[in-house]
Chains A and B, each alone.
Chain A
Amino acid sequence: MLQKKICMLGAFGVGKTSLVRRFVDTIFSDNYLTTVGVKLDKKTLAVGAETVNLILWDIAGEDDTSAVRTTYLRGSAGYLLVADGTRASTLDVACSIHSRAEAEIGRVPFMLLVNKCDLRSEWAIPESRLDELAALGWTIRPTSAKTGESVEAAFQEFAERAVR
């Protein structure tokens, strides 16, 4: 069976763990629990005719004092950058991590998930910034771990790209 390592990257509190929980276990909790270190999850998907095991590395979020350890990305088939639509600064963090990740492991598939689309009226990330990134070739998907909106579809789409 095909096995692919996918890393979840982003600033702290953007909902990386919640997205994994929603995707893997289809559950969501409003209680925010920070991730320290790395947490692994596995989800088996059908991609075309193949069955793929996604090994999801949920890596602790980046903050002002601790950067994401990009060495953990080694061997990844791709990574998902996660930003919180209600916190504009988290998009800057995602962009910064992307640069460092690319420097560490080279060009691999990635996707930007702009989470908390259930709070769209409170979004602080300007559409123009997302348009700029899309123009650079970024794949951007709004998601809500809380409602589940677009979560499964985004992971499925990304798995197909990672397997390709």
Chain B
Amino acid sequence: MEVLPPTVAESLRSLIYQQRALAYVLVDHSLVLVRAGGYLEHYGLMKLELFEPACSQMDFLEGLLPLAETPFLIRSMEMPSGRVADVHFFADCDGVWILLLDVTTEHGEARLVQQKAYDMTLLSEREARLIEQLEAANRALAESREDLLRTHRRLDRELQDAAHYVQSILPPPFSEPFVADWRFVPSSELGGDAFGYHWVDADHFALFLLDVCGHGVGAAMLSMVVANMLRSKGLANTNFRAPDEVLTALNRVYQMEDHNDLYFSIWYGVYRPSERRLKYAAAGHHPAILVAGEPADRGRIETLHARGPSLGIAPTATYTCEEHLVPSPSRLFVFSDGTFEVGKPDGTMLDFAEFLDVLAAPVAAGTSELDRLLDFVRGMHGPGSLEDDFSIVKLAL
């Protein structure tokens, strides 16, 4: 080792001794403290007793002596006083020297830098974990969404099948001995409207249209069941030529508390061609409209009123039968409220008089007032589906 000039060596010694608060101890080969000096109090090593076991006086020596290698360094050890020291060990013939040099300032600086680095690392690890959890949640969500879509598509197919069934059991239009025609536009796949017509016998032609409250599967099922019941004349002890009897019987069978709180309005009429006589009754339903006169001319409106509460509400309700002689020629229109209770884009409702005006307007040869009415209603409503089922039946008598 280069021999330092005495002044430099002395300056260095002074520098280390004072600025690094040098403290030292010597532990002999029997692990007894034999010498101690320097700034021992600086490190909290007070009351060291010479010629006593060293390890019981300085905990940090436990297990380290005798030295396995020399020199040996423990960096940045926090001492009992709270100061931090680099602890240097080296052996000579007298034993093991242990020097303590204060590095508290450097330790503090290193700690700040390391703290920042670890905080950043822990933060980015946490971020990575959160991203991973988020991605896992997204994957689960996507799978769940796919399941939902599959279920939705299946339900959609089933709804379409049901809608096809509803359409398939509606009676076909015919033109002899008189014209029967209709338009049916459900507001969703399944609505609550149903209608039908059939010959009760050779001189009695029955026509009905019903509107179950609400839409969807429940309403559609009830409307189909009632329509099938009427079509098959499935009400016991009921004269299907007598509209009041039919409604009274239906009301007994379809009370809302037994049918998922569903009730419905209905118009039921029986036309007798031989007498041109129409008997009809209604339950909570608006009047049917008779337009008398040649189709090519503006027709005369006759309103076919009948009273009675909706079916399913009052078990003891009774219904009255009305009669009307049908002028020749005439067109009878039976319809649901969805044909005229139509909201306009400006928030107002279609005026019923406007609706009647369209029905009564002259009909050009080769055209149908039903198409004209549907176009008119759609035009009034504006873009998008109608809010309610559009159902209308016409008999040209």
Contacts and interface: CB of A to CB of B under 8 A. Distances in A.
Contact of B74 (A13, A72, A77): A72
Nearest to A77: B63
A12 B84 CA distance: 20
Given A37-B75, A40-B78, A5 B62 contact: yes
A75 B59 contact: no
> Which residue, A32, A33, A36, A75, has most C-beta atoms of chain B within 10 A?
A36
Given A34-B118, A63-B121, A3 B74 contact: no
Interface string A1-36: 101110000001100000000000000000011101
Interface in B114-158: 114-115, 117-119, 121-122, 125, 129
B76 interface: yes
B64 A74 contact: yes
A12 B125 CA distance: 12
Contact of A36 (B56, B110, B119): B110
Given A12-B118, A13-B118, A34-B111, A39 B59 contact: no
A91 to B, nearest CB: 14
A87 B125 contact: yes
A69 to B, nearest CB: 8
Given A34-B111, A37-B77, A71 B72 contact: yes
A74 to B, nearest CB: 6
A42 interface: yes
> Which residue, B62, B68, B119, B121, has most C-beta atoms of chain A within 10 A?
B62
Nearest to B59: A55
Interface residues of B, number: 29
B114 A34 contact: yes
- Chain A contact-residue range equals 20 to 34
A40 B85 CA distance: 12
A37 B115 contact: no
Contacts of A12: 118, 121
A39 B64 CA distance: 16
Contacts of A63: 117-118, 121
B60 interface: yes
B321 interface: no
Nearest to A71: B72
Contact of B114 (A36, A38, A87, A124): A36
Given A38-B74, A38-B78, A76 B111 contact: no
Nearest to B65: A75
Nearest to A38: B77
A36 B107 contact: yes
A55 B114 contact: no
Nearest to A39: B78
Interface in A113-136: 124
A42 B59 contact: yes
A16 to B, nearest CB: 13
Interface in B47-76: 55-56, 59-60, 62-65, 68-69, 72, 74-76
Contacts of A1: 56
A40 B63 CA distance: 13
A126 to B, nearest CB: 14
Contacts of B107: 36-37
Contacts of B62: 3-5, 55, 75
A96 B122 CA distance: 20
A159 to B, nearest CB: 14
A34 B112 CA distance: 9
A32 B63 contact: no
A36 B125 contact: no
A3 B55 CA distance: 9
Contact of B76 (A33, A38, A55): A38
Contacts of B64: 74-75
A37 B78 contact: yes
> Which residue, A1, A55, A69, has most C-beta atoms of chain B within 10 A?
A55
Given A71-B72, A72-B74, A40 B119 contact: no
B78 A13 contact: no
A75 B76 contact: no
17 contacts: A3-B55, A3-B56, A5-B63, A36-B110, A36-B114, A37-B78, A37-B84, A38-B74, A38-B75, A40-B77, A55-B63, A60-B76, A63-B117, A63-B121, A71-B68, A74-B63, A75-B62
- The 3 A-B residue pairs with the shortest CB-CB distance, nearest first, are A75-B63, A37-B76, A5-B63
Given A12-B118, A39-B78, A40-B60, 8 more contacts: A37-B78, A42-B59, A55-B60, A63-B121, A71-B69, A75-B64, A77-B63, A89-B125
